Amino acid sequence: MPAVDKDIRVIKAERPPERFARGWHCLGIADAYRDGKAHSFDAFGTRLAIFADSTGKLNVVDGYCPHMGADLGEGVIKGDTLACPFHGWQWGGDGKCKAIPYAGRVPPRARIKSWPTMEENKQLFVWHDAEGNQPQPEVAIPKIEECFTGEWSDWIWETVKIDTNCRELIDNVSDMAHFYYVHGARATYFKNTFEKHVARQEMRGKPRADLKVAGDNMDFGGSEVTIDELYSVATYYGPSYMIDYLSSIVNGMQVEAYLINCHVPIDQNSFTLHVGLMVKKLPFLDDEMNAQIAQMYAKGNRDGFFQDVAIWKSKTRIDNPLLCEADGPIYQLRRWYEQFYVDVADIEPDMVDRFEVEMDLTKSNEMWVADEAANKAAQQAAE
C-alpha cells in the first residue's frame, strides 16, 4: 500500500443530520392556500396537509390519514374540516377527527398532529421542533412593514425543488468570494454578524466590468439598463427564512427591493426553495414600468439562485473546507447553524454568542480589478 502524503488535504464529509432544524419554515404565499382547496406539502421527511377553514384561518395537519393512509391534501374542505378522499373521515385544524359519515361514533384516539402556524408578511409559516416544544415569542418572524403600505409591488414568488442538503444554501451567508465568480458582483464591503437565532450579512459591491449582469439588455424607459452600485443586508431569522433588503443604483436612480430566500427541507438531501421579491414603486413611473422593473429584479435574482444550483448539482459535501485568509467565517456560521439541530438544553454559548467580523477586501479588490481589466482586454482583442 502506498504511503499517504500527510500534506494532502483529504475531504471529510459525514452524513447530514437525521433530524430537521428547529424553527419557523415558510410554506409560501398565504392567500395561495385560500382557494377553497386542500394542499399537500412534503416537508421534514413526511407530508403535510394545508387547508383554510370557514373563517379563512389556515391549518396545517399531518398529511396522511391514519385510517387507511390516504393523502389528505387530495381531500375536500367541508366547513371547518378536511374530509379524507378515501373514506370521508373529517379532520379539524386541531387534528381531531370530527366525524365519520358512515359511523355512529369517532374512535377516541382518532387524532393527527396539528402543526403550529403563523402568518407574517403575507406568507404562511409552520413550526418544526423535534422535541415538540412550542415556539417562543422571541423567535417570531419579523414584520416587513413595507408589505402593507401599497408603495411596493406585490410579492413575485417562485418555488422550486433543489436536490441537495440545505446547508449548502446557508453557507452563502459567509461565502464572500463566490459573489465574484458565480454572481458577477465584486464585494467592496462585507460583514457578518451572528447572535442568538439571527445571522446577518451586509455587503456593498459593484457589478463586474467584464460581464453583463441581469437586465443589461432590458429597455428602461427607452434606454439601456446600467447598474452602478449594489447594497444588500441579508438576515436569516432562524434556520430557514432570510429577508434581504436590496438597494441598487440603476441608471442613476435608487431602486429598492426586498428579497425573500427561504427553504423547507423535504428530506436530508432535498429542499423546497422559495424565492420572493417585492420592489418599491418609483413615483414618477406608471404601473406598467414599475411592474417591468419588478419583473427584471425577480428574473435577475432567480437567475442568480440557479447559478448556485448549478454548482450544488456537481459539488460534494465538505465538512472541513480548506480556507484562505480572504474567505469569510464559514466555520463560525456553521457553528451558529448547529443550534437548530440540537436539543434546546444542549445549545452551547459559542452557537449563540455574538460574533462579528468585517473583512478587509483591499487586496481582493486590487486583484479583481486587475482580473476584470485583463478579461476586457482579451474580449476586445477577440472582437
CATH number at residue 31: 2.102.10.10
By the 8 A CB rule, do 121 and 242 touch? no
- DSSP letters, 86-140, are TT--EEETTSBEEE-TT-SS--TT-B--EE-EEEETTEEEEEE-TT-PPPPGGGP
Name which residue leads in pLDDT, 298 or 15: 15
Domain boundary residue among 110, 139, 168? 139
- pLDDT computed for residue 228 by the predictor: 78
State whether 251 and 333 are in the same domain: yes
- The dihedral region occupied by 191, where left means phi > 0, alpha psi between -120 and 50, and beta the remainder, is beta
State whether 274 and 179 are in the same domain: yes
Given a cut of 60, whether residue 216 has pLDDT beyond it is no
State whether 192 and 313 are in the same domain: yes
User: Could you tell me the three cell numbers for 287?
Assistant: 404601473
Region 53-79 average pLDDT = 98
State whether 48 and 197 are in the same domain: no
Q: Which of 276, 244, 258 is nearest to 123 (CA)?
A: 276
State whether 135 and 167 are in the same domain: no
Q: Is 12 among the domain residues?
A: no
Given a cut of 50, whether residue 353 has pLDDT beyond it is yes
By the 8 A CB rule, do 212 and 247 touch? no
- Residue 150 is given by DSSP the state S
State whether 201 and 84 are in the same domain: no
By the 8 A CB rule, do 76 and 87 touch? no
Q: Is 8 among the domain residues?
A: no
Q: Is 382 among the domain residues?
A: no
Region 147-166 average pLDDT = 95
State whether 91 and 164 are in the same domain: no
- pLDDT computed for residue 217 by the predictor: 41
Beta bridge partners of 128: 23
* Number of domains the chain contains: 2
Region 156-169 average pLDDT = 95
Region 24-39 average pLDDT = 98
State whether 191 and 90 are in the same domain: no
Q: Quote the CA–CA distance of 380 and 383 in Å, as a whole number.
A: 5
Given a cut of 80, whether residue 232 has pLDDT beyond it is yes
State whether 99 and 225 are in the same domain: no
- pLDDT computed for residue 218 by the predictor: 45
Region 152-175 average pLDDT = 95
Domain span holding position 109: 23-139
Task: Please tell me the total number of residues recorded for the chain in this structure.
Answer: 383
Q: Is 144 among the domain residues?
A: no
Place of cell 448547529: 338
- pLDDT computed for residue 251 by the predictor: 77
- Residue 260 is given by DSSP the state E
State whether 188 and 117 are in the same domain: no
For residue 48, CA distances in Å to 14, 87, 99 come to 28, 19, 20
State whether 160 and 277 are in the same domain: yes
Name which residue leads in pLDDT, 114 or 248: 114
- Provide the CATH number for the domain around residue 217: 3.90.380.10
Pairing of strands 355-358, 46-52: unpaired
- pLDDT computed for residue 303 by the predictor: 85
Q: Is 16 among the domain residues?
A: no
State whether 296 and 228 are in the same domain: yes
User: Could you tell me the three cell numbers for 109?
Assistant: 384516539
CB atoms within 10 A of CB 102: 8
For residue 237, CA distances in Å to 43, 194, 199, 251 come to 19, 11, 7, 33
